[in-house]
Amino acid sequence: MNWLYLLTIAAFLAVSSVNSLSLDPVASTELEQHIKKGDCVISMRHIRPRRKLHISIEALFMIDFPTLKHKLSFFLDRMNQRVTLDVTANGATVSKHFELPNTNETSTIRSLALHFHKNRIAMLVDCKESSTHELDVSLTELYAQMDTDPVIKLFRERKYPLYFDGQLEPALQRTNCQKGVHKRNKVHMMRTQVAEKNKKRDVRNWYNNDSNDKHHEEERTPIEVEQRGDIPIMHGDCEDA
pLDDT digits (tens, 9 = 90+) for 146-175: 987 889 999 999 988 999 999 999 999 887
Identify whether residues 121 and 13 lie together within a single domain. Answer: yes
Q: What is the mean pLDDT of residues 19-46?
A: 93
- Strands 57-65 and 22-23: what pairing? unpaired
- Looking at residue 186, its pLDDT comes to 46
Identify whether residues 31 and 116 lie together within a single domain. Answer: yes
Contact of 78 with 49, CB cutoff 8 Å:
yes
| Element at 112 (helix H, strand E) | strand 109-117
Identify whether residues 24 and 136 lie together within a single domain. Answer: yes
- Looking at residue 191, its pLDDT comes to 66
- Strands 70-77 and 57-65: what pairing? antiparallel
Q: What is the mean pLDDT of residues 209-226?
A: 57
Identify whether residues 129 and 112 lie together within a single domain. Answer: yes
Residue 34's CATH number: 2.60.120.200
Identify whether residues 88 and 196 lie together within a single domain. Answer: no
Give 69's pLDDT tier (boundaries 50, 70, 90): very high
Domain that holds residue 16: 2-168
Give SS3 for 93: strand
Residue 64, strand partner residues: 71, 153
Residue that wins the pLDDT comparison between 188 and 124: 124
Q: What are phi and psi of 171, to 5 degrees?
A: -65, -40
Contact of 65 with 194, CB cutoff 8 Å:
no
**pTM summary value:** 0.68
